[in-house]
Structure formats: C-alpha cells, structure tokens
Amino acid sequence: MLQTDLQILSTNFLQQYKQVVSSEALSISISQLEDTPLSTDNFSFHHAVASVYSSKIEGETIELDSYVKHKRFHIEFQPDYTRKIDDLYLAYQFASENRPDKKTFAEMHTLLAKHIVSTNYLGKFRNQNMFVTTKDGRIEYVAAAPFEVTSEMDKLYADLEILLNSELTISETFFFASMIHLVFVKIHPWNDGNGRSGRLFEKWFLAQKLGSKAWFIQSEKYYYTQHETYYNNIRALGLEYPTLDYTKALSFLLMLQKSVLEKE
C-alpha cells in the first residue's frame, strides 16, 4: 500500500475503489490476455487498435480494418486518411520501449502531434488559455491557466515517479492509471493532442507496473464505444480547473477496469 503523500493525484476514493474492484478478477483477466497472430516483429495489432480508436474518439473517420490493411499488409490509402493514426501508432511504439517521465512524455507528444499542432509546440506546453467547447460552440470546460501548467505537470511527474517506484496492488495500479489519465486531461497542457496523450499515458503507466500484456488491454476501444459516458464522466468534475470536484471522479475511475472485465 502506498504510504507517501502525493502532490496532485487524489487518493480520496482509493479505499472505496478497492472495495468495488476485484483484484482477483483483474489479475485473471490480465493473465488471459494474448497477442494476436496478426502481430509481427514489425507490426503490433494492439497498438493499431489503440491508435485507431483513440483517434476515432477525437473525430477521425479511420476504420480498424482499413488501418490494419495499411499498416500490416502495406495497402495504400490517401495520406490524410492514415497520417495522424500513423503518428499515434509511433507514439504507442515509443512508449512501449521507454520509461515515462518528463522528457519521454514530451517526446511522445512530438510523435503523436506531428500533424496536429505546429512544429513550435511539439512537446511544449501551451502559453495561452485553453477552453474545451461543444460542437455548437459552447464552453464546457476551462483548463488550467497557462501560468499554472508547468507547475501542475511537475506535480504530476513527481507523483508518477513515486508510483513507479512503489509496490502497488493490481487494483491500486488501475486506480492510479485512471487518476493519471483524468488529472492530465483536466490540466490539458498541450495546444492539442491532450485526449490522445491522456489515454496513452494511462496505458503507459499500466505497462510499467503490469508488464507488456497491459498493451493488449483495449481501453481506447472501450472508451470509444462508451464515448458519451466517457465524456460525461470527465465533465462531471466541473467547469473550471480551480474548482474541480474530485469527489465526483469515481465513475470515471471505474471505466478502465471495466474495459478489462466487460469484454465483448
């Protein structure tokens, strides 16, 4: 059990979470995860699934079947159809080969946002206010102020380092992976690519604690199939960063473990 106080990751719901989530069921489900014959030395089917569905959450029209044909069997499509997904795939591949920290997280964003933000902002925090808006133009969330972003992310990186060096149960690991995801998207440090980064960050942490099988978890696909619930659970904390209410976070925190236990 983690004893050290964390700077930004709330542990208020940890005990309640552990009463609801079955470590035994998670352990069994993780042990049963396997790669697919579609994967090769040069192609990860599960990175493809993660990249496609994380991108679809952001509005990309890519389909998994088409992307597998493109990436695995080298069938050509229009560059605009695959470019951003290729970038995200490379970011997942990079994460699977590196330990998450301040430096590698910036490098990850440089890969995934290559065709999303201008070169000057690849791997760099925003320096202006950030508003998340609805399709009809209404503001639904005001992220951390630009002068707060660096200090808030430094707190998150410091907590990450503590967690990576701590012995955690599998339920604690899932709890903190979800909390990292949630806190990160609430800070919203990049000009763009925050959703993709948050979902990758969550998986990256899981893989560090649980091993390579964590990359086989299809959490991005689950979030896509439950995207209205996913966004509603993120919105539930409030409109503005300084007044976020993490007592309303439990519904979001439970989604990751459901992506493992509630298989199709």
**Rounded CA separation 128/189 (Å):** 10
Please indicate if the annotation marks 126 as binding a ligand. Answer: no
CB 141 within 8 A of CB 131: yes
What is the Cα–Cα distance from 137 to 154, expressed in whole angstroms?
31
Q: Is 192 annotated as a binding residue?
A: yes
Measured from the Cβ of residue 69, the count of other Cβ atoms closer than 10 Å reads: 14
CA distance 12 to 9: 9
Measured CA to CA, the distance from residue 107 to residue 112 in angstroms comes to: 9
Structure tokens at 20: 């609801």
Per-residue CA distances from 62 to 81, 202, 219 (Å): 6, 22, 18
φ/ψ (deg, to 5) at 140: -110, -10
211 marked as binding residue: no
Is position 188 annotated as part of the catalytic site?
A: yes
Is 12 annotated in some ligand binding site?
no
Question: By three-state DSSP, how is residue 181 classified?
Answer: helix
- Catalytic option among 46, 47, 70, 188: 188
Residue ranges for the binding site for ATP? 192-199
Provide the annotated active-site residues: 188
Residue ranges for the binding site? 192-199
